[in-house]
Amino acid sequence: MRARRQPEKLTGWYTPLPLRKGLSPRSSAPNYEAYHLDAATHADDDAYWYSISMNRENYYAQPSDITMLHNGGWYDI
């Protein structure tokens, strides 16, 4: 008879808190770690989430100053 699976102890999930730079699983990639820590340490409705890189929908009405070239062929849809 197989042994039943033991329930996971959730206290292990909270031991690395508070989040600190250099102690996360992403510490080998500092750029990714910084991005993850920024997102994890900001509140749900913080000004951080309203920047153009995080919430582009709020900026759709603003004109863009990027030059674009649209090219199409004779048989393109």
pLDDT in tens, 27-58: 888 888 888 888 888 888 888 888 888 888 88
Peptide bond into 18 cis (omega under 30): yes
Q: Cite the DSSP H helix spans in the chain.
A: 11-14, 30-41
Q: What is the pLDDT of residues 51-75, one digit of tens each?
A: 888 888 888 888 888 898 988 998 8
What local confidence, expressed as pLDDT, does residue 69 receive?
92
How many helices (H) does the chain have, and how many strands (E)? 2, 0
Q: What is the pTM of this model?
A: 0.48
State how far the Cα of 36 lies from the Cα of 48, in Å rounded to an integer. Answer: 13
Work out the pLDDT band at 13, boundaries 50, 70, 90.
low
Residue 41 makes CB contacts below 8 A (sequence gap 6+) with: 19
Map tokens 């510490």 to a residue.
Answer: 27
